Chain A
Amino acid sequence: MSNSADRRDLFSGALELMILHTLRLKPMHGYALAKHIKQVSEDLLHIEEGSLYPALQRLLKEGLLEAESGVSAKGRPTRIYRLTGAGRRHLKREASSFDRMLTGITRVLAAAEA
C-alpha cells in the first residue's frame, strides 16, 4: 500500500504552502482546490487528491484556514475553505523563507555544476 504522505513530502509543508497560496486568490471547496493545484502543477507534481484533506485539517487546526458550509458549483452541500488573517501572514512568512531556500538551493546547484 502506498502512503500518500510519501509523495507529498517533497519537503515538508510544500502542500500546505500550495494550499494557502491557492486559497489566497479566493475561498474554494476541496474538489476545486485539488483541481486547481493539479492543473497548475500537472506535469511536475503528482498529488493524490485525497492527500489534500489531512493537510486541510492540519491548517484548520492551526487556525490558518477556516471552513464554512457552502454549496458546490453543482449545488451539493460542501465546505468552503477560506484563508484567515493568520493564514495570510503565515503565507507571507513562509513564502519568503521558501524563496530564500529555493535561491539557496539554486546557488548551491549552480556552484556544484561550475
Chain B
Amino acid sequence: MSLFRRRRYTDLEVSISEHIAEAVEELMAEGLSRKEAELAARRSFGNRTLIEESSREAWGWTRLESWWADVGYASRQLAKNPGFATTAVATLALGIAVNATMFSLVSAFLMPRLPGKDLARVYALSSVNPIAGDFAELNPVSAPNYLAWRSHTDTFSDVAAVNDYQSAGLTVNGQAESIRYSAVTPNYFGLLQARPALGRTFAKDEDVPGRNHVLVLSYALWAGRFASDAGIVGRTVRLGREDYTVIGVMPEDFRLLGFVPQLWTPLTVTAADRSAAARPDRDLYLFARLAPGVTPAQARSQLSALARRAEIEYPSSERRWGASMQALPEFLIRNFGIRKSLVVLMMTVSFILLIACANVAGLLLTRAARRQKELAIRLSIGASRMRIVRQLLTEGLVISLFGGGAGLLLAYAGIALLRANLSFNEAVNAVPIALDRKVLAYAMTISVVSALLSALTPAVKSARSDVNAGLKSETRGASADASQSRLRALLVVSEIALALVLLTGSGLLIRGIFQLEHQDLGFPTDHLLTATLKLDAAQYQGPAEERLFAKKLLTRLQQLPSVSNAALSSDLPGGDPSSSSFLIKGERENLTDAPPTALDVVVTSEYFEATRIPVLRGRVFTSADEANAPRAVLVNQEFARRFLGGRNPLGIQLKLSGKHAANTWSEIVGVVGDSKTDSEDVRIDPEIYEAFAQHPTGSLCLLLRTVGSPEALISSVRRAVAEIDPELPLASVATMRQFVEHNRRGNPLFVRILGMFALLALIMAAIGIYGMVAYSTSQRTHEIGIRMALGASRSGIFRTVLSGGLKTAAIGSAAGAALALPLPRVFDAMFSGIQFGAPIVYLVVLAVIVCVASAATCIPALRASKLDPAQCLRVQ
C-alpha cells in the first residue's frame, strides 16, 4: 500500500475514532453511564465498518484493493480445501483444454492469415454453378468470362487469374519429379501485395509467349529441392521438358488457405482461350480489387448483369450460370470447406465446457451450503450482499483461471497431438496450427465466462440466504434448504440433458460417417499399388503415341517380378472420374435438355483382373478391341439397373457425347460389378468403361496387383517409367489403402475426435451426477437415521434414494431427447449425401445415459442403506 494511501486511511480512522469518543463524552456529560453512552453514540453513528469502507471507496482504490484481498482470501480458502480445489480446477481445465485445442483449428482455418495487409477491397470472383451444391457459388471461371469481367475497369481496377491445378515434371539433377504449380497472371502477386523473399515477381509482359518461361519458387520447394540456394535467381530449371528461368522465391508466410502450389508460372491467355469453345472450361480462380469508390453491391450487380448477358449470347455453355463475388477471407474459408466440421466440433466442446461448468457449479453450491454460517456472520457484521457475491465470484474466477492455466498446458499438448494427426492432405498440412494469440485470448475469455457460469448462481443464492436462519442453523445446516436442493436437481437435469444431446449428436455423426466409410467399395484394397502420370503434349502428340507409350509401359510392368496384373486407366477405382452424357440406340437417340449421364472411365484389358471388380455378364476388353475395331463398352450393374430396366444389356448400343468422345455407336459387351467412387455420399453411380485402345488418354493411372507388399515395388515401377522416358515423373505413388485413406479427407480423425469428446462428456456428467446425489444423500443422513429408527428397511432406503436420483435422470433424459430430436435434420442439411436419421442411436444413447445415471446414483444409495441408524442420529 502506498504511503499516501495509508495516510488517508489513518486520517479517516482518527477522525472517526475522535468523533465517537467526543460523542460518548458528551452523552456521559448528560448523565449516561459509559456503557450506555458508547452504545448510543455507536447507534447514532451508524455501521462504522460499512461507513469506513464506503469512505475508502470514495478514493477509488478500494475496488482493486478489496479485489486483491478477495483473490488472496479465495486462494487461501482453496488451499485449505485441496480436494475441492483440485476437482474443480481439473474439471474446468479439461473443459477449457478441449475448447482451446479445437479453437486452434478455428484460428488456423476460419481466421486465415492473408498475405498482404490492405486486402479489404480484394474480392474473389466466381461463377455460380446451376447445379446446387456446397461449392456451387465458388465455381472457377472460364477464360472468356475472365477477359469480359476484367475489361470492366470502372468496377474492378485489377483482376488476377489463377489456374491452380497444373502439374508437370520438374527435372533437377536428371531426376524428374511431379510437382503441382499454379499459372497466374503477372499481376497476381501485386494484387495480393506480396513481395518475394528473393528476386522479383512477374513483370507486366511476362505472359507473352516467348517471354513467359520464367517462374517463381515457393519457399518450401526452394528450401527442399534447391537446398535454400541463395544464388537460385537467374538459374535455369527444366519444367515439363522446357527451360525456365527462376526469377524469384516467395517468403514462407506467403500462403492462401487451400492453395498450395510449389511454384508459379505466368498464365498465358491464348487465342483459343478467347474463343466461345473455351467457355465450358471453367478452371480459373479470380481475385479482383474494386475500383476506387465502387461499393461491393455495385460490383455484384455489375457482375450479374455480365452473367445475364453471357447467358443470352452463349446459351449452350452459359445457360443458368451466374456470377458471384466474395470477400477474400470468406472465399478462402468456404472454398476450403472445413467450416461445417469445425462448427460441429466447436458445438461439441462448448457442450463439454457447459457440463464442466455445471459440475463446478454443483461443487460450489455444495461448498456454499457448508459455509452458510460463515457467510451469515459476514453479512451480520456489515458485509454488503454485493460484497459477498463478489467474493464468491472471485473464488469462481480464481478456480477458473487456474483451470484456464492448466487447460492451456493441456491444450498445448492437445494441439501438438492434433498437428501430428492432421496430415490427410497437403492443403491441410500447409496450414500452421499453433497456440497463437487468438487461441490464448479465446482461452482467457472462456475461463472468465465459465467462472461466471459456474459461480454466479451459487454466489447469488448464498448471498440471498436469510442471515438469521444461517446463524441459528446447526452445522449440518442447509439440509432443509429446499431451494438449494432444487437448484442441485436442476444442475443434474441440465447436465444429463447436455450429455444426452452431445452423445446423440456425435452418435448420429459417427454412425453416418461410419456408414460412408464402411460402404462396400466393390473391390479389395489390399495388394494394390497405384500411381499416376501425365503424358505431356510436348512429347506425346495424339492418340497413336499415347497408345504406344501405354503398350511399352504395360509390357515392362507385367515383366516386373511379383506383379500379377498390371493395368492402366483414366481413373482409379474409388477415385473421382468425370461423367459423360450418352444416348441409347432405339430409345433416346436425340439430345434432349437433360441427357442421362454416367461416369466414364477408360481402362486397359487387365483392369478388372487387377482390381478384382467382378465381371457379371459378357466379357471384358481384349486385345481385339483395338483402335479400328467396332467400339465396345462395359457398364456396371447400377447402369443396367437405372437405364436399361430389366433388359439384357449385352448388345445395346450407346453413343457417348463427352468432349473427346468419338461420334460413333458403341456396343455393350459386358456388365461388371459396382464400385464406389470417391464422394461424400453413400451411393453407387452408374458407370461406363471404355477400352483404352479405342479412347486413349494422356492422364494415366497405374494399377498393379502385387504378390507381396505393394510398397516393395515402388522403386522398380519408377525405374520402369524412367527407362521409357527419363523426364516423365511418376506422381501420387500410393498403395490402394493409402489412396482410399487420403480420399476420406480426415473423416476418421473427425470420428475419433468426436468419439473422444462424447466419452469425455459422459464421464464428466457421470462424475457430476454422482457428486450431487452423494452430497444430497449425505445431507440426509440424519433423516435416514430417523426413518430407519422408525422401521424403514434398508432396501426401502436404497429404493428411496435411488428413485430420487432416477427421477432427476428421467427428467434430464426427456429434456435432452427432446432437444436432440431435430439433430438428424440439422445434420442432413449440413452434410448432404449421408442419412443421419437413426432411431437406434437415440435408444442406445438413452440406455447408456440411464445406465450411467443409475450407476452414479446407486453408489450413494447403497451407502445410505448401509448406515447405522444410531450413528446417523448422533450426526449433528
Q: Which residues of A contact B (CB under 8 A)?
A: 1, 4-5, 29-31, 34, 48-51, 53-54, 56-58, 60-61, 67, 72-74, 76-79
A-B CB contact pairs (8 Å), 17 listed: A1-B47, A4-B47, A29-B19, A30-B15, A30-B19, A48-B46, A49-B44, A50-B16, A50-B45, A54-B51, A54-B54, A56-B15, A57-B56, A61-B58, A76-B21, A77-B14, A78-B14
- How far, in Å, is B479 (CB) from chain A's closest CB? 28
Tell me whether A53 and B44 are in contact (CB under 8 A).
no
Q: Determine if B46 and A50 form an interchain contact, defined as CB atoms under 8 angstroms apart.
A: yes
- B55: CB under 8 A from chain A? yes
Query: Of B15, B25, B51, which one neighbours A29 at CB under 8 angstroms?
Result: B15
Q: Does B466 contact A (CB under 8 A)?
A: no
In the bound assembly, the distance between CA atoms of A8 and B839 in angstroms comes to: 67
Q: Which residues of A contact B8 (CB under 8 A)?
A: 57, 60
Which size class do B's interface residues fall under?
A: 20 to 34
Q: Do B51 and A4 touch (CB < 8 A)?
A: yes
Closest 3 CB pairs of A and B: A50-B46, A57-B58, A78-B18
CB A57 to nearest CB in B, in angstroms, measures 4
A sample of 15 more A-B contacts (CB under 8 A), given A50-B45, A57-B58, A57-B59, is A4-B46, A4-B51, A5-B54, A29-B15, A31-B19, A31-B23, A48-B46, A49-B44, A49-B46, A50-B46, A54-B58, A57-B8, A60-B8, A61-B58, A61-B60
Q: Are A74 and B51 in contact (CB under 8 A)?
A: no
Q: Are the C-beta atoms of A31 and B45 separated by less than 8 Å?
A: no
Among the listed B11, B22, B56, which residue makes an inter-chain contact with A79, where contact means beta carbons less than 8 Å apart? Answer: B11
Shortest Cβ distance from residue B64 to the other chain A in the assembled complex, whole angstroms: 15
Q: Is the beta-carbon distance between A30 and B51 smaller than 8 angstroms? A: no
Question: B18 to A48, Cβ gap below 8 A?
Answer: no
Q: How far is the CB of A79 from chain B (nearest CB, A)?
A: 5
Q: Mark B16-35, 1 if CB is under 8 A from A, else 0.
A: 10110111010000000000
Distance of A49 Cα from B44 Cα, bound (Å): 6
Chain A positions within 8 Å of B54 at CB level: 5, 54
How far apart sit A61 and B11, CA to CA, in the bound complex (Å)? 13
In the complex, what distance in Å separates the CA atom of A56 from the CA atom of B60? 14
Given contacts A54-B57, A79-B15, contact A31 B46 (CB under 8 A): no
Query: Please, how many angstroms separate the alpha-carbon atoms of A30 and B382 in the complex?
Result: 22
Find chain B residues with CB under 8 A from A74 CB: 21-22, 25
Interface of B is mostly: helix
Name B44's closest neighbour in chain A (CB-CB).
Answer: A49
Minimum CB–CB distance from A58 to chain B (whole Å) comes to: 4
A13 to B623, CA, bound (A): 106
Q: In whole angstroms, how far apart are the Cα atoms of A58 and B56 in the complex?
A: 9
Contact B55 A54 (CB under 8 A): yes
CB-based contact A61/B59 at 8 Å:
yes
Contact B16 A30 (CB under 8 A): yes
Set A49, A60, A61: member contacting B45, Cβ < 8 A: A49
A49 to B48 CA separation, bound complex (whole angstroms): 10
Assembly CA distance A5 to B57 (angstroms): 13
Q: Looking at the assembled complex, report how far the CB atom of A13 sits from the nearest CB atom of chain B, in whole angstroms.
A: 14
Q: Which residues of B contact A77 (CB under 8 A)?
A: 14, 18
Separation in Å of the A44 CB from the closest CB of chain B?
17
Given the interface pairs A57-B12, A61-B59, the reply to whether A50 lies near B22 with Cβ below 8 Å is: no
Q: Which of A29, A72, A77, A78 has the most CB of B within 10 A?
A: A78
B154 within 8 A of A: no
For the complex, what is the distance from the CA of A4 to the CA of B51, rounded to whole Å? 9
Question: A109 CA to B457 CA in the complex, in Å?
Answer: 47
Cβ contacts under 8 Å, B57 to chain A: 54
**Complex CA distance for A29 and B11, rounded to whole angstroms:** 11
The answer to whether B46 touches A51, judged by C-beta atoms less than 8 angstroms apart, is yes
**How many Å from the CB of A15 to the closest CB on chain B?**
13
Q: Is the CB of B23 within 8 A of A50?
A: no
Residue B723 is within 8 A (CB to CB) of chain A in the complex: no
Contact present for B18 and A29 (CB under 8 Å): yes
Residues of B within 8 A of A31 (CB): 18-19, 22-23
CA distance A73 to B835 in the complex (A): 91
The answer to whether B51 and A51 have CB atoms under 8 Å apart is yes
- B18 neighbours in A (Cβ, 8 Å): 29-31, 72, 76-79
CA distance A71 to B470 in the complex (A): 44
Q: Does B52 contact A (CB under 8 A)?
A: yes
- List the B side residues contacting A1 at CB < 8 Å: 47, 382
CB of B59 within 8 A of CB of A53, answer no
Cβ contacts under 8 Å, B50 to chain A: 4
The one of B15, B25, B51 that contacts A78, using a Cβ cutoff of 8 Å:
B15
Give Cα distance in the complex from A72 to B453, angstroms.
53
Residues of chain A with a CB closer than 8 A to B51's CB: 4, 50-51, 53-54
Instruction: Tell me the nearest residue of chain B to A62, going by C-beta.
Output: B58
A48 to B23, CA, bound (A): 13
Residues on A with C-beta less than 8 A from B58 are 54, 57-58, 60-61
Give the docked Cα–Cα distance between A74 and B25 (Å): 9
Complex CA gap A78/B23 in Å reads 14
Q: Smallest CB-CB separation from B60: which chain A residue?
A: A61
A79 touches B59 (CB 8 A): no
Q: Whole-angstrom distance between the alpha carbons of A84 and B497 in the complex?
A: 65
- Report yes or no: B25 in contact with A53, Cβ–Cβ below 8 A: no
Residue numbers in A under 8 Å from B59 (CB-CB) = 57, 61
* In the bound complex, CA of A61 to CA of B56 (Å): 10
Inter-chain contact A79/B14, CB cutoff 8 Å: yes
Whether B11 and A49, one on each chain, are in contact in the complex, defined by CB atoms closer than 8 angstroms, is no
Nearest-CB residue, chain A, relative to B11: A79
Contacts of A34 in B (CB 8 A): 19
> Which residues on the B side are within 8 Å of A50 (C-beta)?
16, 45-48, 51
Contact of A53 with B14 in the complex, beta carbons under 8 Å: no
Residue of B nearest to A5 (CB): B54
Chain B residue, CB-CB nearest to A68 = B11
C-beta contact mask, B605-621 vs A, less than 8 Å → 1, else 0?
Answer: 00000000000000000
Chain B residues near A30 (CB-CB < 8 A): 15-16, 18-19
Residues of B within 8 A of A48 (CB): 44-46
User: In the complex, what residue of chain A is closest to B25 when comparing beta carbons?
Assistant: A74
Q: Which residues of B lie under 8 Å from residue A73 when comparing CB positions?
A: 22
Q: How far apart are the CA atoms of A80 and B382 in the complex, in Å?
A: 28
Within 8 A of A (CB), among B614-673: none
Q: Which residues of A contact B382 (CB under 8 A)?
A: 1
The chain B residue sitting closest to A1, CB to CB, is B47
Give every chain A residue within 8 A of B15 (Cβ-Cβ). 29-30, 53, 56, 67, 78-79
Residues of B43-82 contacting chain A, CB below 8 A: 44-48, 50-52, 54-60
| Cβ distance A60 to chain B, nearest Cβ, rounded Å | 8
Pick from A49, A53, A76, A78: contact of B55, CB under 8 Å: A53
- A72 and B8 alpha carbons, distance in the complex (Å): 18
* Cα(A95)–Cα(B413), bound, Å: 67
Complex-state Cα separation, A93 to B192, whole angstroms: 61
A72 to B19, CA, bound (A): 9
Q: Across the two chains, which residue of chain A brings its CB closest to B385?
A: A1
How distant is A12 from chain B, measured CB to nearest CB, in Å? 14
Q: State whether A53 and B12 are in contact (beta carbons under 8 Å apart), knowing that A4-B51, A61-B59 are contacts in the complex.
A: yes
Q: How far is the CA of A67 from the CA of B15 in the complex (A)?
A: 10
User: Which chain B positions have C-beta within 8 A of A78?
Assistant: 14-15, 18-19
Closest to A80 in B: B15
Interchain CA distance A67-B48 in the complex, whole Å = 20
Tell me, rounded to whole Å, the shortest Cβ–Cβ distance linking B683 to chain A.
Answer: 72
Assess A72 versus B46: contact at CB under 8 Å? Given A53-B16, A53-B51.
Answer: no
Of A49, A54, A58, the contact of B19 (CB 8 Å cutoff): A49
A56 engages B19 (CB within 8 Å) = no
- Across-interface contacts of A56 in B (CB, < 8 A): 15, 55
Shortest Cβ distance from B21 into A: residue? A76
Q: Are A53 and B22 in contact (CB under 8 A)?
A: no
Q: Name the residue on A nearest B382 (C-beta).
A: A1
A67 to B10, CA, bound (A): 12
* Chain B residues, Cβ within 8 Å of A67: 11, 15
Whether A49 and B23, one on each chain, are in contact in the complex, defined by CB atoms closer than 8 angstroms, is: yes
Shortest beta-carbon distance from B51 to chain A in Å: 4
Best-buried of B16, B19, B56 by chain A (most CB within 10 Å): B19
With a cutoff of 8 Å between Cβ atoms, the chain B residues found around residue A54 in the complex are 51, 54-55, 57-58
